[in-house]
């Protein structure tokens, strides 16, 4: 049986990264499809992806009218993936923080898991070029969520993941309510609550070189409260 994979890349102003990133993904997994979800970038990202798409049938683009957030971008991508019959669906940042070289390791792990998490906080994983403060918030956020939600996984806020189609189909996608970091926590919790198999594989996360982070204080603060909403909502 031939299984199909889709790499979903949400973008907002990633002109310095998107073209080389698409090439690198295809250098590693020539057969995979790539779906970019762009929120009306102002720096030419949209036009660049349109151009690549016009000459490469493996690349597709969803254009949204404005910056609507990572959560709804991924939900749109998941629905697209289900509709088009993809078997393995990746989440990946568009800024090279997530090295495409790991993609085959995700696929290997996904043979025996419904969700594979790229984990910075297990042996072999790590973060390069982050301030002490940023590390503290990220590790603290994972520990906080792990304790409240009673899940054993070490990296709950990372966004380098691979879902099997069955995992996405088991989740009522229209009910997912989180945005930023809490989106990652909520998706993992929902898969966990379904009793599905989750595995972590080590990744080294590298802070972006080109472009700017869209992370904000608001997204951190959202996560603190959302974890409780995730726990208290009967999922």
Ligand X SMILES: Nc1nc2c(ncn2[C@@H]2O[C@H](COP(=O)(O)OP(=O)(O)O)[C@@H](O)[C@H]2O)c(=O)[nH]1
Does 208 engage in binding with ligand X (CB under 6 A)? yes
Q: Are 66 and 39 in contact (CB under 8 A)?
A: yes
Closest distance to ligand X from the beta carbon of 97 (Å): 5
**How far lies 106's CA from each of 62, 100, 173, 230, in Å?**
24, 10, 23, 26
Q: Taking CB under 6 A as the criterion, which residues in 14-73 touch ligand X? A: 14, 37-39, 67-70, 73
Does 134 engage in binding with ligand X (CB under 6 A)? no
Pairing of strands 88-91, 5-11: parallel
Structure tokens at 145: 């969520």
- For ligand X, what does the binding mask look like between residues 64 and 83, x meaning CB under 6 A? ---xxxx--x----------
Does 97 engage in binding with Mg ion (CB under 5 A)? yes
- For ligand X, what does the binding mask look like between residues 85 and 104, x meaning CB under 6 A? --------xxx-x-------
Closest distance to ligand X from the beta carbon of 213 (Å): 3
Beta bridge partners of 159: none
User: What does 173-210 look like in DSSP terms, one character per residue?
Assistant: GGG----HHHHHHHHHHHHHHTT--EEEEE-EEE--SS
Give the interface with ligand X as residue ranges (CB under 6 A). 10-12, 14, 37-39, 67-70, 73, 93-95, 97, 208, 213-215
């Amino acid at each position: 049986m031939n299984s199909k994979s889709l790499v979903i890349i949400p973008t907002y102003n990633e002109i310095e990264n998107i073209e080389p990133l698409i090439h690198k993904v295809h250098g590693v997994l020539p057969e995979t499809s790539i779906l970019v979800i762009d929120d009306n970038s102002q720096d030419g990202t949209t036009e660049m992806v349109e151009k690549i798409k016009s000459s490469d049938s493996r690349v597709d683009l969803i254009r949204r009218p404005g910056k609507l957030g990572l959560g709804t971008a991924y939900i749109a991508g998941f629905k697209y993936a289900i509709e088009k019959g993809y078997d393995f669906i990746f989440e990946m940042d568009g800024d090279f923080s997530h090295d495409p070289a790991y993609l085959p390791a995700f696929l290997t792990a996904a043979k025996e898991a419904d969700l594979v998490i790229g984990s910075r906080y297990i042996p072999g994983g790590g973060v390069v070029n982050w301030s002490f403060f940023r590390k503290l918030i990220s590790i603290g956020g994972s520990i906080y969520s792990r304790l409240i939600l009673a899940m054993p996984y070490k990296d709950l806020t990372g966004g380098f993941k691979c879902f099997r189609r069955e995992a996405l189909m088991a989740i009522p996608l229209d009910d997912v309510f989180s945005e930023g970091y809490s989106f990652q926590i909520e998706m993992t919790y929902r898969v966990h609550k379904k009793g599905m198999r989750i595995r972590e594989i080590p990744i080294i996360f590298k802070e972006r070189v080109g472009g700017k982070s869209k992370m904000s204080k608001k997204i951190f603060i959202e996560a603190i409260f959302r974890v409780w909403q995730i726990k208290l909502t009967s999922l």
